[in-house]
Amino acid sequence: MPQTILDVQHLSKRYRDFWAVHDVSFRLQERETVGLLGPNGAGKTTTIQMLLGLLEPSEGQITVLGKSLAAHRSTVLGQMNFAATYASLPGNLSIQENLRFFAGLYSVPDRKARIDELLERFRLTAFRRKRTGTLSSGEQTRLSLAKAFLNKPQLLLLDEPTASLDPDTAAQMRQEILSQAEQFRTAILWTSHNMFEMEKMCQRIIFLSHGQILAEGSPEELVRKFKQPNLEETFIALARQKEL
Amino acid sequence: MQRVIAIFIRHIYLLRRSPHRMIGMLYWPTMELFLWGFLTLYLNRIGAAEFNFVTVLLSALIFWDFFNRSQQALSVSFLEDVWVRNVGNVLASPIRPVEYLFGLILVSIFQTIVSLSFIASLAYVFWQLNLFQFGFWLLPFFANLYITGWAMGIFATALILRLGPSTDVLAWSLPLLLQPLSAVFYPVTVLPGWLQTVAHWLPTTYIFEGMRAIIFSQEFIATDVVRAFLLNLVYISLAIFGFALSYRSVRRRGTLQRYSD
């Protein structure tokens, strides 16, 4: 029986009388990739920020590998990692320095070998001494992904990880993410506005709107349930349905 | 411990990559040293004082710079993360807030040692001021200056975290609040009575009075060390508590995001 990696129960975040996220519950099993979909302002980033411990939930529980994030923050965060478009790595350090710095923060064992391996896998070896701030956005994304796999995470949070990549590089990076995740039995929570990517990568989709789960299921199930030709049309239908 | 060292190593990378960061560590104190050095030579020439201005004023300047550096190194290292939008990356890692603060304290120790060694050498070469002539008696005072600097640095960091990146000027301006009251360049008895009362609540007052006693009369006043240390314990505890409150507040209000976007 697959192990539960992430268990989110009745998660809510309220700012005065506005619920950014309201009573959200879901689980992720090992090796499972789940897409978190929703229009802008649906609560995806708020949910991810709470999962990363950067935002304190108003209500609810987050448990990773049986341990509460609130009670065992450091241990839990050591088993996770993330890459997000809004969290670029320090531009005044080189690629190699950034990876060494984060390897230290995540207490990565045998860090030189691990960094060399990731530089190779994410095609960054040639410019390992280049300052991060001078990299193209695609190279910076690859560096963020390399950093996200440094500690061989059990749970990986990816917030639009391929948004700035060309289709060819994006396909290669998706393949690399899958390969690393398979190797370490990583569960992935993935947000994206690229419906092709979501259909291809995710076994299950959670559709958020106005801070609540509106629908959940495999991409095929959702398309069938809402009688749409594909996931993109399903997304549009769901987003508009809630607006009405 | 690895996480504490990671914060320190990141700072060394920054120094290696951008030597202009040495300006804060070496350039400002050097300019101040020369300015005050020439002023003290002038005072020695025109005054008929019974003591040597060079020893009194330059020593005080070097001690003040030590305090200033220990505070600023801590606060500005935090600002380095703010300026490159890295606070979210760091705080979403397994590092505990207290480990982060210890990492910043390591940076502070490193910077103060470099800065002190440099300007103490210059003071020796140009004004024949040898700080080491006072032996080990100054060490307890330097240790206390460290703690006061860290308390001030953590307090400034807590305020910047709570109030937002645009308040980064606090990292440089807070220590100036203490300078007139801390008896850095003159005895505390010079202050009006009510300000003396305020001054006696500051650890720096006992530190600078105690240091001056060593320089003037080679007298080590143990009670000054103890009083400064006890006050330091209170202030550093309050500063850490303040940092914890700020950290909790930004996580509750969702304002950590402004350090990442």
Report chain A residues touching chain B, CB-CB < 8 A.
13, 15, 20, 46, 49, 52-56, 73-75, 77-78, 82, 86-94, 97, 100-107, 131
Last residue of a domain, one of A88, A123, A152: A152
pLDDT along chain B (261 residues), means of 10: 92 84 82 88 75 80 91 89 88 92 93 90 89 83 94 93 84 84 87 91 93 85 94 96 92 77 58
Looking at residue B216, its amino acid is F
* Neighboring chain A residues of B13 at a CB cutoff of 8 Å: 93-94, 97, 101
Whether residues A220 and A237 share a domain: the answer is yes
A47 occurs within a structural domain: yes
Q: Compute the count of residue pairs across chains A and B with CB atoms less than 8 Å apart.
A: 91
Whether residues A86 and A43 share a domain: the answer is no
**ipTM summary value:** 0.86
For residue A211 the two structure tokens come to 């801070």
Whether residues A63 and A160 share a domain: the answer is yes
CATH number of the domain at A199, please: 3.40.50.300
Q: Most B CBs within 10 Å: which of A44, A47, A54, as the mutation test of the B interface?
A: A54
Q: Which of A13, A103, A105 sits opposite B95 (nearest CB)?
A: A105
* Neighboring chain A residues of B77 at a CB cutoff of 8 Å: none
Whether residues A11 and A43 share a domain: the answer is yes
Write down the pTM of the prediction: 0.87
Q: Between chains, do B89 and A102 touch, taking CB under 8 Å as contact?
A: yes
Q: Between chains, do B13 and A93 touch, taking CB under 8 Å as contact?
A: yes
pLDDT at A244 over 50: no
Distance of CA A10 to the CA centre of its chain: 20
Q: Between chains, do A86 and B260 touch, taking CB under 8 Å as contact?
A: yes
Beta strand pairing call for A80-84 and A155-159: parallel
A229 occurs within a structural domain: yes
Whether residues A243 and A159 share a domain: the answer is yes
Give the total residue count for chain B: 261
**Total structural domains within chain B:** 1
Torsion angle (degrees, nearest 10) of CA B217, B222, B227, B232: 90
A88 vs A102: CA distance, rounded Å = 13
Nearest alpha-carbon partner for A153 in B175, B49, B195, B92 = B92
Which residues have CB under 8 Å from B239's CB, separation 6+?
A: B150, B151, B152, B154, B155, B158
Distance of CA A64 to the CA centre of its chain: 15
Identify whether the C-beta of residue A76 lies closer than 8 Å to the C-beta of residue A61: no
Residue with tokens 């801390």: B182
Domain of residue A8 covers: 1-78+155-164+189-244
Domain of residue B47 covers: 2-259
Whether residues A7 and A63 share a domain: the answer is yes
Least confident of A113-117, A124-128, A204-208, A233-237: A233-237
Whether residues A71 and A94 share a domain: the answer is no
A160-193 as b/e, with b when 16 or more CB fall inside 10 Å? Answer: bbbbbbeeebbebbbebbeebbeeeebbbbbbbe
Whether residues A58 and A160 share a domain: the answer is yes
pLDDT value for B70: 92
Whether residues A39 and A99 share a domain: the answer is no
Whether residues A1 and A72 share a domain: the answer is yes
B221 vs B207: CA distance, rounded Å = 10
A176 occurs within a structural domain: no
A196 occurs within a structural domain: yes
CB-based contact, B12 to chain A, within 8 Å? no
Q: Between chains, do B84 and A46 touch, taking CB under 8 Å as contact?
A: no
